[in-house]
Amino acid sequence: MKPAPFAYFAPRSLDEALALLQEHGYEAKLLAGGQSLIPAMNFRLAQPAALIDINRIDALSFLEPASDGGLRIGAMTRQRTVERSALVAERAPLLHATMPFIAHMQIRNRGTLGGNLAHADPASELPAVMVALGARFRLQSQRGARWVNAADFYVGLFATTLEADEMLVEIAVPPLPPRTGWSIQEIARRRGDYAIVGVAATATLNADGRCHAARLVYLSVGEGPIQAHDAVAALHGQAPTAAVIAAAMRGASQRIEPLGDIHATPAYRRQLIEVLGRRALTEAFARVQPT
């Protein structure tokens, strides 16, 4: 239960950190909040040769309004800071409502937004929420910087499009479009535990009260955030009545293939996919403010 030895670097600037990452590549790991990495190192599931501790880089910790009405959030912003931000509550209420689901207060005090998103745990709420919100991630290396859509960032179990020399530096959360509602639903055994199944939804109505667009993104049912494209397609152009939502979910839950584990059987997960999807869509549509 003790980590293996490693070389430790605590750069003070992004440039310094990127140079270290370039030099050490896959041998090194970035240390953000450490709330996933250090448990894995204690178990010796992870034995990086070098740790690049990015906690002393002040420039990575910010939370600002973006000019498009959304938010710009630095990767090292603590989960607790996001949770308590009035700006987040106002501009990204789905993100605000999600934070208390993540672990416990002591862990959110250390854990960062960027660390959570880069870790790509399929049971984590934030990747699903970022996909539902249409967020974009800025990845930087000594070679330059690029923006990636959250939906394209996740490519498998704990896998992302980050290259060995790249760091997630910023998260851009766009504003919700007009006439858009949202919801986050999950079932966990205990407050703060990883969800057995969870789902984030955003839903937009057109001026006639019919579904114009929606995103329904699950966690803990596959290798990453899983979008229920079929359910969304079935809703398109429909008035979102209880019967329409129920029919859309019945079909969609059959197309997701959750695995079983010690927490839940595949059948139970499939049942939750349907029930939570229904609840999330119902709540999201109900939250739409007429304009």
Partner 1 sequence: MTELYPVQLTVNGMAYARTIEPRLLLSDFLRHELGLTGTHVGCEHGSCGACTVLMDGQAVRSCILFAVQADGHEITTVEGLAANSARLHPLQEAFRAAHGLQCGYCTPGFLMTLIPFLEENPTPSEAEIRDALSGNICRCTGYQNIVDAVLKVEIGD
Footprint on this chain of partner 1 (rule: CB under 8 A): 1-8, 10, 31, 34-35, 38-39, 41-43, 51, 53, 55, 80, 100, 103-107, 109-110, 190-192
Which tokens sit at 166? 């790249």
Amino acid at position 188, single letter: A
Between 126 and 221, name the residue whose CB sits nearer to ligand FAD.
126
CA-CA distance, 190 to 170, in Å (whole number)? 31
> Long-range contacts made by residues 253-257, C-beta under 8 angstroms, separation at least 24?
253/277, 255/228, 255/230, 256/218, 256/221, 256/222, 256/226, 256/228, 257/222
Using CB under 6 A, pick the residue from 39, 65, 69, 156 that binds ligand FAD: 39
Least distance in Å: CB of 197 to partner 1? 19
Least distance in Å: CB of 114 to ligand FAD? 4
Helix axes 266-286, 242-255, angle to 10 degrees: 150
Is the distance from CB of 201 to CB of 281 less than 8 angstroms? yes
Using CB under 6 A, pick the residue from 61, 77, 81, 116 that binds ligand FAD: 116
| Residue 162's binding partner out of ligand FAD, partner 1, none, with CB under 5 to 8 Å set by partner kind | ligand FAD
Ramachandran angles phi, psi of 261, nearest 5°: -155, -165
Between 55 and 141, name the residue whose CB sits nearer to partner 1.
55
Residue whose Cβ sits closest to ligand FAD: 115
| Residue 106's binding partner out of partner 1, ligand FAD, none, with CB under 5 to 8 Å set by partner kind | partner 1
Q: Looking at 104-112, 203-211, 235-243, 265-273, which segment touches ligand FAD (CB under 6 A)?
A: 104-112
- Which residues, listed in sequence order, are joined to residue 78 by a DSSP beta bridge? 112
Which tokens sit at 100? 């208390």
Residue 32 lies near ligand FAD (rule: CB under 6 A): yes
Residue 197 lies near ligand FAD (rule: CB under 6 A): no
Residue 34 lies near ligand FAD (rule: CB under 6 A): yes
Between 9 and 194, name the residue whose CB sits nearer to ligand FAD.
194
- In the block, tokens 């394209």 appear at 152
Using CB under 6 A, pick the residue from 19, 87, 97, 107 that binds ligand FAD: 107
| CA angle (179 as vertex; 237, 174 as ends), nearest 5 | 110
CA-CA distance, 225 to 222, in Å (whole number)? 7
CA-CA distance, 3 to 146, in Å (whole number)? 33
**Residues at the site binding ligand FAD, with contacts judged by CB under 6 A:** 29-37, 39, 75, 102-103, 107, 111-112, 114-116, 118-119, 121, 124-126, 162, 167-168, 192, 194
